[in-house]
Amino acid sequence: MTINDGAQPSVGILGAGWLGLPLAEHLQKQGVNVLASCQSEQGLQALTSAGVPSTVLSVQVNALEPQDSGLLQQQCIIICIPPGIRYGKGDYPQKIKQIVDAASAVNSKVESLILLSSTAVYNGLQGEVNELSKLDHSAEKVALIAEAEQCVLNSNITHKCVVRLAGLIGYNRQPGKFFSNGRSIPNPDSVVNFIHRDDVIGLLTQLIAVIPTWQQGKAEIINGVIDDHPLRKDFYNKAVAKLAAEKPKFQQQQEIKGKQVNSVNIKQLSYRFIHSNLIQYLDSNEAY
């Protein structure tokens, strides 16, 4: 996926890890001016080795100083910071608010803001869900993610978008290893919701290209998920078989319908997925 011809916005990437680093490299190849941030000197060395202009920025509550990093001089900011909720952290909305407030400041040149969120925000729902579905805020995880999203969507930044990513696969994220060490797989008759890292990068590249032309003040939510949802038992039987002699262990089905994440807004981008068929992907050598 390439950037469209014409003016190319400069891009700041907050959190250049497993996704942010290859995204930065890809955008650079498209001729985009990129500045990526990481939280440690070790991460800075990885970015430097990759030839990506970089800065150290640790996002901590009440301790964010992006003014000196150069990130606020970029026209488009992509936030790739994981929520960390599964590790017991509850400060994710506060961190996102600090970034939004800094990007909204009078000395900022940020015109577009993209938050990479998660389809975990649909936890508690069953059946088919999409960007229009009403969320179940009774779960703390959902409430925290939704609060962080609203910090972006309610900001006064000209163009903003929340991209809710489904389960990430590709490269060293091999699905056959997701339930290793004898872990059993729950709800075998529910479906899976995934997106490959190549497609996240392709989707974001296209979004960066069109977001400056959107109507001023338009806020969007896009589910980053492929339109292919095999049953968990079919998917993981195949994924595990290529990596181990033993068959995966499945628990009894607990969900009534399970959750299938669809996207109605991704059609606005006319994006064509690179990895659109999960079973075919598992048959490829790249999956292992």
Question: pLDDT tens digits for 201-210?
Answer: 999 999 998 8
Q: What percentage of the chain reaches a pLDDT higher than 70?
A: 89
pLDDT at 241: 86
Q: Which residue has the tokens 């941030």?
A: 37
Residue 243 placed within a domain: no
Say how many domains are in the chain.
Answer: 1
- For residues 221 and 164, is the Cβ–Cβ distance under 8 A? yes
- In eight-state DSSP terms, residue 250 is B
Q: 265: closest CA among 198, 194, 206, 196? A: 206
Distance CA 230, CA 32 (A): 37
pLDDT band at 68 (very low <50, low <70, confident <90, very high): low
The 10 Å Cβ neighbour count of residue 221 is 20
Distance of CA 268 to the CA centre of its chain: 18
Residue 56 placed within a domain: yes
Which of residues 30 and 246 earns the better pLDDT score? 30
Residue 92 placed within a domain: yes
* Helix or strand holding residue 276 (H, E): none
73: its two tokens: 């001089």
Residue 42 placed within a domain: yes
Residue 6 placed within a domain: no
The pLDDT of 124-138, averaged and rounded, is: 96
Residue 45 placed within a domain: yes
Domain that holds residue 61: 11-166+196-224+258-273
- For residues 157 and 129, is the Cβ–Cβ distance under 8 A? no
Q: Quick check: pTM over 0.85? A: yes
264: its two tokens: 């109605």
Question: pLDDT tens digits for 158-192?
Answer: 999 999 999 999 998 999 888 877 789 999 999 99
Q: What is the CATH number of the domain that holds 204?
A: 3.40.50.720
Calculate Rg over the CA atoms of the chain. Answer: 19
Residue 229 placed within a domain: no
Residue 288 placed within a domain: no
What CA dihedral angle connects 107, 59, 14 and 74, to 10 degrees? Answer: 10
